[in-house]
């Protein structure tokens, strides 16, 4: 109903210049020596009519939007949505808003989204990058747009990055199974070149070879997990009946695995030990609970936000880029890895 009021209207109403109002509104009145009285008068009036500056105009002029873009795999995935919640919370505290996009791990979608948000002049990006985004990331870097990668990174590009110690954690997870007397441990992972999956694979292989065991690896295609994932795992287990424990590369693979075990009427942990990379809210609800290597989401989020703010605030032309590795945490849940027939 009521017309939008601009800084100009305020100036007119109070019979002073636009500049004065702007200065006062931006807390520069002391700095430039505006009188107490004037300052108070303006502030009071502004408060009274509930004036809100037009952010678009402000952004156009200053080049800052106070918006950060968070690009994740899928906002419906509990890991990412929790990260989103944390990052939102943290950035809000610093006066930033976040706008997110789900890449579905598709290169094309990610490129599109980056372009979109860059066009919107976001002040920075936090990205969980799919494969093949090297040139776009380099583009952002060249334009000096603050940027943090997480969960995975590109070996060929020097970026600020936050990840977990995938290799060590995967190794630990497998060792945990080995300690519990499992001897034929399969690894269900994604058919992906991305660093996090590669590192987890290496961690698995290290643990297996350290103990002189045989490795059984099943790689699923990311895009087909939801359609054929269960069948693929069933087939994997049928072809390798000696497998007595499974290590899953991510939480949604674990969920598929549980369904597969169900179908094969294999019980956990009697017939099959299970451990998951990435925790999931519901793992504790299963009977038995599913043991998992959990990524410390709040820590990851904090580190990302810190790195990003550092970049935004940094004036140095060549700030050194940082790679932060946080340790994953094993969440042991009773009996998902206790072999009963032992």
Partner DNA sequence: TCTTGCTACGCAAACGATGTAGTAAATTAT
Partner DNA sequence: ATAATTTACTACATCGTTTGCGTAGCAAGA
Contact between 145 and DNA per CB under 7 A: no
* Residue 76 in contact with a copy of itself, rule: CB under 8 A: yes
Cβ count near 150 (within 10 Å): 27
Among 13, 49, 54, 214, binds DNA (CB under 7 A): 54
- Member of 2, 27, 48, 62 binding DNA (CB under 7 A): 62
Please report whether residue 37 would count as binding DNA according to CB under 7 A: yes
Across 249-273, b (16+ Cβ under 10 Å) vs e yields: bbbbbbbbbbebbeeeebebbebbb
Q: How far is the CB of 297 from a copy of itself (least distance, A)?
A: 10
> Is residue 55 within the footprint of a copy of itself (CB under 8 A)?
yes
295/252 Cα distance (integer angstroms)? 14
- In DSSP terms, 147 is beta-bridged to 125
As a whole number of angstroms, the distance between CA 283 and CA 78 comes to 12
Q: What track of x and - describes contact with a copy of itself for positions 203 through 242 (by CB under 8 A)?
A: ----------------------------------------
What is the closest distance, in whole angstroms, from the C-beta atom of residue 140 to DNA in the complex? Answer: 18
Q: Which does 38 bind (CB under 5 to 8 A by kind): a copy of itself, DNA, none?
A: DNA
Please name which of 263, 262, 264, 268 lies closest in space to residue 288, comparing C-alpha atoms.
268
Q: How far is CA 271 from the centre of its chain?
A: 34
**Minimal distance in Å, beta carbon 52 to a copy of itself?**
5
Q: Which does 340 bind (CB under 5 to 8 A by kind): a copy of itself, DNA, none?
A: none
Q: Two tokens at 143?
A: 């334009």
For DNA, the binding residue among 49, 60, 75, 282 (CB under 7 A) is: 60
Binding map of a copy of itself across residues 278-307, x = CB under 8 A, - = no contact: ---xx--xxx--------------------
CB 217 → a copy of itself: shortest distance, Å?
24
CA distance 189 to 204: 11
- Should residue 267 be labelled a site residue for DNA when binding is judged by CB under 7 A? no
| Structure tokens given for 280 | 């999931």
Assess 108 for contact with a copy of itself (CB under 8 A).
no
DSSP 147-163: EEEES---TTS--EEEE
* Binding status of residue 119 toward a copy of itself by CB under 8 A: yes
Helix (H) or strand (E) holding 193: none
Which of 61, 144, 287, 320 is in the footprint of DNA by CB under 7 A?
61
Q: Which residues contact 145 (CB under 8 A, 6 or more apart)?
A: 118, 122, 124, 125
3 state SS of 207? helix
Indicate whether 100 belongs to the interface with a copy of itself (CB under 8 A).
Answer: yes
Closest CA to 96 of 115, 118, 69: 69
Q: Does 81 bind a copy of itself (CB under 8 A)?
A: yes
φ, ψ dihedrals at 185, nearest 5° = -100, 120
Binding interface with DNA (CB under 7 A): 4, 6-8, 15-20, 22-23, 25-26, 32-35, 37-38, 51-54, 57-58, 60-62
């Amino acid at each position: 109903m009521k017309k939008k009021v601009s800084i100009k209207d305020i100036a007119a109403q109070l019979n002073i210049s636009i500049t004065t109002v702007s200065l006062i509104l931006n807390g520069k009145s002391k700095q430039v020596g505006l009188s107490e009285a004037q300052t108070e008068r303006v502030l009071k009036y502004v408060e009274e009519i509930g004036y809100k500056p037009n952010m678009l105009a402000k952004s156009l002029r200053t080049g800052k939007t106070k918006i950060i873009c968070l690009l994740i795999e899928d906002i419906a995935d509990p890991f990412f949505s929790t990260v989103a919640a944390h990052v939102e919370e943290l950035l809000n505290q610093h006066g930033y808003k976040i706008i997110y996009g789900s890449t579905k791990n598709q290169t094309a979608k990610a490129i599109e989204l980056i372009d979109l948000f860059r066009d919107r002049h976001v002040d920075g990006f936090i990205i969980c990058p799919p494969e093949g985004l090297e040139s776009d990331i380099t583009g952002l870097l060249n334009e000096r747009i603050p940027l943090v990668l997480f969960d995975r990174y590109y070996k060929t590009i020097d970026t600020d990055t936050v990840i977990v110690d995938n290799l060590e954690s995967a190794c630990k997870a497998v060792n945990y199974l080995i300690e519990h007397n499992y001897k034929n441990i399969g690894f269900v992972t994604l058919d992906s070149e991305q660093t996090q999956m590669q590192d987890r694979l290496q961690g698995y292989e290290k643990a297996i070879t350290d103990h002189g065991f045989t490795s059984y690896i099943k790689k699923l295609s990311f895009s087909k997990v939801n359609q054929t994932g269960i069948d693929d795992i069933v087939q994997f287990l049928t072809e390798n009946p000696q497998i007595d424990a499974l290590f899953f590369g991510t939480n949604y693979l674990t969920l598929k695995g549980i369904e597969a075990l169900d179908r094969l009427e294999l019980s956990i942990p009697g017939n099959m030990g299970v451990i998951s990379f990435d925790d999931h809210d519901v793992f504790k609800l299963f009977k038995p609970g599913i043991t998992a290597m959990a990524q410390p989401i709040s820590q990851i989020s904090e580190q990302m936000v810190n790195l990003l703010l550092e970049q935004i605030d940094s004036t140095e032309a060549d700030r050194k880029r940082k790679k932060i590795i946080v340790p994953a945490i094993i969440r042991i849940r009773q009996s998902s890895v206790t072999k009963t027939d032992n």
